[in-house]
Amino acid sequence: MVYSAVEVRRARFAVAAVFAVHGAVTGSFATRVPWIQDHAGVSAGQLGLALAFPALGASVAMPLAGGISHRFGARAALRGLLALWTLALTLPSIAPNLLTLCLALFVYGASAGMSDVAMNALGVEVENRLGKSIMSGLHGMWSAGALIGSAAGTLAAHLGSDARLHHALAAAVLTAAGLVACAWVLDLQPAEDEDPPPRFALPPRSALLIGAIGFCAVFAEGASLDWSAVYLKDELETSAGLAAACTTGFTLTMALARLAGDKVVDRFGSVRTVRVSGALATLGGVLIVVGGSPVVAMSGFALMGLGIAVVVPLCFAAAGRSGANPSLAIAGVATITYTSGLVAPSAIGTLAQATSLVVSFGLVTVLSCGLAAFAGVLRAGDRDRPKISKPDAAVPDRRP
């Protein structure tokens, strides 16, 4: 199928809107976890167990996304999977006990993972056709959507609203927005002689190598998000307000870096960008560990956010161009990064209990070095892409 340059550019904005909707669901859920805990009547330990189920559901379901896209086409698959994800937002808040909460979060995570794979695969396809980097900006839109969802959730919690009502309204709005956005994404269909992907398969070796880079970045992200405030408060004895501001600053730095990252990638390429990013993240980790003052530590967390911001988007882009089955490769990378996000907070806490938070962030610094050392595995992200030279030029159907 041939698409005009106008259609491809319109598809870019449509996919960006999908990323924002996806992020808004996450932000809407995260802010109401305390209400959900009280409603289900679970302890802190039971809640921790339940919160492992989204990652478990995502890991199990992600490899299925490629088969769904092959059967129904990219647009219809994304439309259905995104609607399933937005509607799944209503499930955790109506769970009355631990068992139903775990089941609800499993479905919530499974729908999140499948829609994540579908939208990243379409993002890579649009990037290929445009001939320039857009994946960093797309993930920046996800961060922006998460901030919007979090802000709305914070307001709802402040007003004391019932999370069941809040999530029902949010799901309705986000489902409608997602359906509108999906109407403009590329309607990719498999070739007549293209064999369907296996129902379930392990990710290819290339995805494992690329996923290892993503693992390091997401580990640093999860550690910084969950433990930066604790680090400043406990290790450096700052006020709770300043500690919270550090986490907010880290999140904002990541979002801004992702929104601006595509221009850097276009100029220097994926490999050089990640090598420099890894160096910045490593420098940030060193400042956190040896700085000894709140200002230096906060600067370190800012550098950490700046350094890891574009890595995961570039991992998805490289996975989508690493072989004949981009959906399977993207699913493999997504599974590894989801696992890292699940493991990081508890690993940091366990190591801190055995030693100290300083030692824990020493581990984060070592993993940040891995970004620079192994950035070469992202070379697939620097392959030549078709260029669009005229506003009305048709873009051929070149699937990675």
pLDDT at 189 over 90: no
Contact, 197 vs 328, CB < 8 A?
yes
Q: Which residues of 230-264 are buried (b: 16+ CB within 10 A; e: fewer)?
A: ebbbebbebeeeebebbbebbbebbbbbbbebbeb
Give 298: exposed, middle or buried? Use CB within 10 Å, 0-12, 13-18, 19+: buried
Q: Does residue 358 have a pLDDT over 80?
A: yes
Integer Cα distance of 1 and 249 in angstroms: 44
pLDDT digits (tens, 9 = 90+) for 218-273: 999 988 887 888 899 889 988 888 887 888 788 888 889 999 999 999 999 999 99
Strand partners, 3: 395
Strand partners, 395: 3
C-alpha distances out from residue 118 to 9, 10, 115, 121, 185, Å: 18, 18, 5, 5, 11
Cα separation, 179 vs 81, in Å, equals 10
Of residues 307 and 222, which shows the higher confidence score? 307
Q: What CA–CA distance (Å, rounded) separates 317 from 377?
A: 12
Q: What is the pLDDT of residues 83-106, one digit of tens each?
A: 999 999 999 999 999 999 999 999
pLDDT in tens, 263-284: 999 999 999 999 999 999 999 9
Residue whose tokens read 């305390």: 34
Residue 396 token pair: 């051929």
Write the single-letter amino acid at 388.
Answer: I
One-letter amino acid at 360 equals: S
User: Best-predicted range by mean pLDDT among 220-234, 279-293, 312-326?
Assistant: 279-293
Distance CA 194, CA 311 (A): 31
- What CA–CA distance (Å, rounded) separates 346 from 222? 10
CA 20 to chain centre: 11
Is residue 287 within 8 Å of residue 280, measured between CB atoms?
A: no
Cα 200 from Cα 220, distance rounded (Å): 30
Q: How many CA atoms lie within 13 A of 89 on its CB side?
A: 33
Do 118 and 74 meet the contact criterion of CB atoms below 8 Å apart? yes
Q: How confident is the model at residue 208 (pLDDT cuts 50, 70, 90)?
A: confident
Q: Give this prediction's pTM.
A: 0.84
Of the two residues 205 and 36, the one the predictor is more confident about is: 36
